[in-house]
Chain A
Amino acid sequence: MEKRKIIIDPVTRVEGHGRVTLHLNEQNQLEEARLHIVEFRGFEKFVQGRPYWEAPVLVQRLCGICPVSHHLCAAKAIDQIVGVSDETLTPTGRKMRRMMHFGQVLQSHALHYFYLAAPDLLLGMNSDVASRNVVGLAQMNQELAKKGILLRKFGQEIIKATAGKKIHGISAVPGGIHKNMSDEEIQFFKDGKEVPSIEETIQWCLEVLEHYKTFHLKNQSDILSFDQLESNYLSLIGRDGALELYHGELRCVDKDGRKVIEDMDYLKYLDIYEEEVKEWSYMKFPFLKPLGAQKGWVRVGPLARINTCEYIDTPLAQKELESFRSHNGRMPHGTLLYHWARLIEILHCAEKIQELLDDEDIKGENLITKGTRTNTGIGFIEAPRGTLIHHYDVADDDQITKCNLIVSTTHNNTAMNSSVFQRAKQIWETNPDRGEEFLNEIEVAIRAYDPCLSCATHALGQMPLKVELRDFNDVEIRTFTR
């Protein structure tokens, strides 16, 4: 028998455009799986020659889902160009940016869970594709879908109040922020008239978590057996090991929770990072130098953050973390656990927003600070999908001479390929004739990471998926598309 290849193209309900190829050997066994990212945008190139202060506004255009993360990560990097660090930002600048980021993570996670992932989980990953979406979810559980939509809206309104617009705001400027929050804007989130109040938002987060946990416990064996991927986990980490989404040190732990990178200043990331390029994808493969390309790949995002942190510094989310760990252990590796972790983070963000809405500093007038001009700026942030890195070199005359972006989805590149392989292998070995189910389950595995392929390649376009089956001569045998 000849080597063959299966193609899934396009992958659906993810952000961006991807394709999966499954390679079969002469014995008709699955040999390799590749998630190809076929978009190319070139932001790193065309930002060169632009003035440094444009970066936070320009680069965020590579994404419509998590532009705030790019906006803030670039702003953190550009802060260094003007001699400012997170520690020297004004309290108003720092807290407004943090609030913006919590709004971003909340809305992005709500979008992913309710619009992209929950239809698979709650309606069944092999249910009718025509109704496996948020509308189908609303038909099944109107109240849950409504809360999901309004939770996302709450996050978007927080972004609008802090960044100026729900998508592609402009408020983070070198050394700070150009707006504070007025009493009216704060009241908007407390009175519950136009959006759920912050108290109601927190309550809904708890209800959604309860709903998920009930589902999880009923389907635990399926969820955990879907894909177990032992990996390293990387994230920023807060003081004393607290979960941190905006600013902190860099921590990496191995599959057993041992620190493989001691908590380090992320400005030194080049000491431990390297990126590999493969000919079949526009997405790079970053890895930790001390561990090498084979073993140095990591997973980032909600599950990684939950696994790297010691605790969560908001009480309700901490309680949920304890519940998560009591069910799944201290270092769980189930890929579908990303969803549970994501819901804990939604709750954490809502609690943090509540704290900040009560903080007088967000109304402060001291918005921007400056320091001594430098030529290199490095920003790290925990974007909804994981650790995001922006690195800029700026000449003395203020033009950007180099830009490197390592986005969350890029970090998860090897992991996504591994998850696709594991899932495809399991299906192929039990029933190779399952066409639609191939698509569904492979997509579910990819979707758990909530990848943004546009961000990852800094690319343009929609994100549908295609699976190709190819023989050992690379001749296409079967293609599954939707």
Chain B
Amino acid sequence: MSKIDITVDGVKFSVPENINLVEALSHQGIQVPTLCWYQGMDECLGTCRVCTVKVGGRHSAACTMKTQKDMTIEFDTDELKDLRRGVIELLFVEGNHYCPSCEKSGDCLLQAQAQDMEMTHSRFPYEFNNYDLDFSGKNILLERNRCVHCKRCTELFSDDEGHKVFSFIGKGAETRVVFDHEREKKLSPHKAKEAMDLCPVGAILVKGQGFSKPYGERKYEKEPLWEKK
């Protein structure tokens, strides 16, 4: 793979050409915050915009960009840090996120990013929207108060037979995640756990599991995002 030069915040880096920008920056020790994207993902979703940077002076979701020759990227500026934190704050006010009683607390990427960005409160008013919980599943509970509509479950998860299980219904603010009842019913415990782990927040929960990990053993307590920087 041929190498090209890119400039990040005025510093030149030599990176492989045509690879995911978040990944390329990660290899250079620059951790771009993400929520819908994760390392190793084949296709980006580009849904959350938490990875917003400026490329050639224009706001872009870094996960949707491939490295190109002479790219000029702005990342660690006050304006962009504020914008990315604003995106996280908006997710908090749009949903109903009560970390103290959430099963994914400590394993939740939204919570970890908020902590990493030192978000102590939201500058936007909480919306206190009403969302239904879907208890109808045999294995999985959908806690829609916490869904950030990242599409990980709808795009990246499939059952043992390769069929999609989750999808979105509704439009705009009415969009909500649902599952195929027949396929959900047949999920193995392993697959149900996989779906729960894939969800970056606490919207997909394995029924009855509760709070399975002790403090200190949870994902972002063991490997805090800020220690990767």
Query: Which A residues contact B (CB, under 8 angstroms)?
Result: 49-51, 53-54, 57-58, 61, 82, 164-165, 168-171, 173-174, 178-179, 395, 397-399
Contacts and interface: CB of A to CB of B under 8 A. Distances in A.
A169 to B, nearest CB: 8
A398 B142 CA distance: 12
Contact of B215 (A61, A82, A170, A174): A170
B128 interface: no
B207 A57 contact: no
Kindly list the 10 A-B residue pairs having the minimum CB-CB distance in the complex, ordered from nearest.
A53-B210, A164-B215, A397-B135, A179-B214, A58-B101, A170-B211, A173-B210, A399-B135, A57-B101, A164-B214
A171 B214 contact: yes
Contacts of B210: 53-54, 57, 173-174
B100 A399 contact: no
21 contacts: A51-B141, A51-B205, A53-B208, A53-B209, A54-B101, A54-B103, A54-B210, A57-B210, A57-B211, A58-B101, A61-B100, A164-B216, A170-B214, A171-B214, A174-B208, A178-B212, A178-B213, A179-B214, A397-B136, A399-B133, A399-B135
Interface string B189-212: 000000000000000010111111
Nearest to B207: A398
Contacts of A395: 135
Most buried by A among B100, B101, B209, B212: B101
Contacts of A54: 101, 103, 210
Q: Is the interface of B mostly helix, strand, loop or mixed?
A: loop
A292 B215 CA distance: 47
Contact of A51 (B100, B207, B212, B213): B207
A173 B208 CA distance: 9
Interface in B54-87: none
Nearest to A172: B211
Contact of A398 (B135, B212, B215): B135
Contacts of A171: 211, 214
A398 B141 CA distance: 9
B205 A61 contact: no
A12 to B, nearest CB: 28
Contacts of A82: 208
B22 to A, nearest CB: 33
Interface in B168-191: none
B162 to A, nearest CB: 28
Contacts of B133: 49-51, 399
A5 to B, nearest CB: 40
A165 B215 contact: yes
Nearest to B143: A51
Contacts of B212: 173, 178
A271 B30 CA distance: 65
A178 B100 contact: no
Contacts of B214: 164, 170-171, 178-179
A49 B143 CA distance: 11
A84 B109 CA distance: 33
A82 B208 CA distance: 9
Contacts of B213: 178
Contacts of B101: 54, 57-58, 61
A394 to B, nearest CB: 10
A398 B214 CA distance: 23
A179 B103 CA distance: 16
Interface in B141-175: 141
Among B103, B133, B207, B214, residue most surrounded by chain A Cβ atoms (within 10 Å): B214
B3 to A, nearest CB: 47
A175 B119 CA distance: 36
A169 B210 CA distance: 13
A171 B141 CA distance: 21
Contacts of B208: 53, 82, 174, 398
Nearest to A54: B101
A51 B214 CA distance: 20
Given A171-B211, A173-B212, 7 more contacts: A51-B141, A51-B205, A54-B101, A164-B216, A170-B211, A174-B208, A178-B213
A58 B209 CA distance: 15
Contacts of A398: 135, 141, 207-208
B205 A168 contact: no
A146 B127 CA distance: 48
Contacts of B136: 397
Contacts of B211: 53, 57, 170-171, 173, 178
Contacts of B100: 57, 61, 168
Contacts of A164: 214-216
Nearest to B212: A178
Contacts of B103: 53-54
Contacts of A168: 100
A21 B210 CA distance: 45
